[in-house]
């Protein structure tokens, strides 16, 4: 029997050898350590591993078919950028030219505000190079036209010929013909005429109605007037004011003028009240000038002043009311101020009304204006018509020169 020390002295068996002795079957080739190439095989290259690319040949074929696509796309993008740059430059030049033209027109025509200038046609730079513009629209919002200064003028000129020293220097322009219109806005009229409480409205093709209130001596009188609008000459508009009257509440009506129907007259309601009020009726019949204007016989008046029944019979007749309404109280204001005070009139108002003559009221309500004469060329007004928003007049011009000193 061997001792333990003798057993440890022997070489420890290889476990793979023991497995090989147990089974020399099909597992033998896998259990043998591969220390080199097998006979008949070349030594393998130590290349890094990469997955197989099965589409490599297909990619090569498609790349050959669309090889020119990136270059064509760049060319298209370049053309688009160039077109956008040229368009931007053209629009910038257009805006600059419109601004310079507006400033020149303001200085040349001495306008209170710069006009709006719109140059039509594209491209603009080719028109400028050819010294000819297809169409130019000018809107002047505030034209000095006599006492009415807020007339708006809109005109379009065609085939404008430029006078230039090169594309960047335009001395002036020749306008062979233009067309447009002049608008006198009703809203502007209320501000311009200093009568913001008066409203203007169209009444047919050539008539304007004015309605509102007019302050006189601390009283707001209701104003009624009619204006007929017509052309005056080639550059003017005139208005004929008619039907003017100022209503003092329901007390009386004032019509400026020298006709029998003009002046200050009692209203129908006021004359009817006078007939019912004995004290006022007696005061009126006590003035000989009034009796003469009423056309009442003196004997009838004396009887009415003594007998109230006779007075009621006299003042209650429709004829008396009509005659009382025909009295021009302005004629009585100076000689009999107490009498008019008894009827309800303010002395300050009676003093102010005679100064509101027809010319004064006509001037305050006049819608007429006259366009300034251009330095060169000719401007004519045609076809006056009244519209909902104001008075519109067709404008024509020929052989106009703009921008030259």
The tens-digit pLDDT sequence of the chain (405 residues) is 444 444 444 455 555 455 445 444 544 444 445 555 555 554 445 555 555 555 555 455 555 554 555 777 767 777 777 777 777 777 777 777 778 777 777 777 667 778 888 888 778 778 777 778 888 888 887 776 565 656 788 889 888 888 776 655 667 778 888 899 888 888 777 776 555 578 888 888 889 998 988 889 989 999 999 989 888 888 888 888 888 999 999 999 999 988 888 999 999 999 888 888 888 888 888 888 888 888 888 888 889 888 888 888 888 888 888 888 988 888 788 788 888 888 889 989 988 998 888 888 888 787 777 777 777 778 888 889 999 888 899 988 888 877 655
Neighbours of 357 (CB within 10 A): 13
- Give pLDDT, residue 404: 57
- Give pLDDT, residue 30: 43
DSSP annotation of 56 reads: H
Task: Report the distance separating Cα 208 and Cα 69, nearest Å.
Answer: 72
Number of H helices, E strands in the chain: 17, 13
Instruction: Single out the residue of 227, 228, 262 nearest to residue 245, CA to CA.
Output: 262
Task: Report the distance separating Cα 405 and Cα 155, nearest Å.
Answer: 22
> Please, where are the H alpha helices in 251-370?
268-276, 278-285, 288-294, 298-306, 308-315, 318-326, 329-333, 337-343, 347-352, 358-365
Distance from the Cα of residue 161 to its chain's centroid: 30
Contact indicator for 184, 367 with CB cutoff of 8 Å: yes
Task: Report the distance separating Cα 306 and Cα 314, nearest Å.
Answer: 12
Contact indicator for 148, 184 with CB cutoff of 8 Å: yes
- Return the structure tokens found at 128: 């400028």
Contact indicator for 198, 209 with CB cutoff of 8 Å: no
- Give pLDDT, residue 122: 79
- Give pLDDT, residue 9: 44
Instruction: Single out the residue of 148, 203, 241, 228 nearest to residue 387, CA to CA.
Output: 203
Instruction: For tokens 């009139």, name the residue.
Output: 345
DSSP annotation of 185 reads: E
């Amino acid at each position: 029997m061997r001792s333990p020390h003798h057993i440890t002295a022997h070489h420890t068996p290889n476990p793979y050898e023991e497995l090989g002795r147990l089974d020399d079957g099909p597992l033998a080739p896998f259990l043998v350590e591969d220390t080199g190439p097998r006979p008949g095989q070349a030594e393998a290259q130590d290349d890094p591993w990469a997955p197989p690319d099965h589409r490599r040949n297909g990619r090569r074929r498609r790349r050959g078919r669309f090889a020119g696509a990136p270059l064509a796309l760049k060319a298209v993008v370049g053309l688009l950028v160039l077109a956008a740059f040229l368009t931007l430059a053209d629009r910038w030049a257009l805006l600059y030219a419109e601004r310079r033209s507006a400033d020149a027109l303001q200085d040349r025509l001495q306008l209170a505000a710069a006009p709006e200038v719109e140059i039509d046609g594209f491209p603009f730079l080719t028109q400028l190079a050819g010294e000819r513009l297809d169409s130019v629209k000018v809107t002047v919002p505030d034209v000095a036209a006599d006492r009415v200064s807020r007339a708006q003028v809109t005109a379009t000129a065609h085939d404008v010929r430029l006078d230039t020293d090169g594309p960047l220097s335009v001395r002036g322009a020749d306008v062979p013909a233009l067309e447009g219109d002049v608008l006198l806005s009703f809203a502007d009229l209320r501000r311009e005429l200093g009568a913001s409480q008066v409203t203007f409205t169209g009444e047919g093709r050539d008539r304007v109605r004015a309605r509102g209130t007019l302050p006189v001596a601390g009283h707001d009188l209701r104003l009624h007037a009619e204006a007929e609008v017509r052309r005056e000459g080639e550059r003017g508009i005139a208005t004929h004011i008619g039907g003017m009257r100022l209503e003092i509440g329901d007390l009386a009506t004032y019509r400026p003028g020298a006709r029998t129907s003009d002046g200050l007259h009692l209203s129908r309601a006021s004359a009817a009240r006078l007939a019912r009020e004995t004290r006022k009726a007696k005061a009126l019949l006590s003035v000989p000038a009034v009796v003469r204007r009423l056309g009442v016989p003196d004997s009838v008046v004396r009887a009415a002043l003594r007998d109230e029944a006779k007075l009621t019979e006299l003042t209650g007749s429709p004829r008396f009311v009509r005659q009382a309404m025909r009295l021009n109280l302005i004629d009585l204001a100076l000689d009999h101020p107490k009498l008019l005070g008894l009827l309800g009139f303010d002395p300050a108002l009676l003093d102010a009304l005679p100064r509101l003559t027809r010319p004064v009221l006509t001037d305050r309500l006049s819608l007429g204006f006259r366009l300034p004469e251009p330095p060169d060329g000719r401007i004519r007004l045609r076809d006056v018509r009244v519209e909902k928003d104001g008075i519109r007049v067709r404008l024509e011009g020929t052989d106009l020169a703009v921008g030259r000193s």
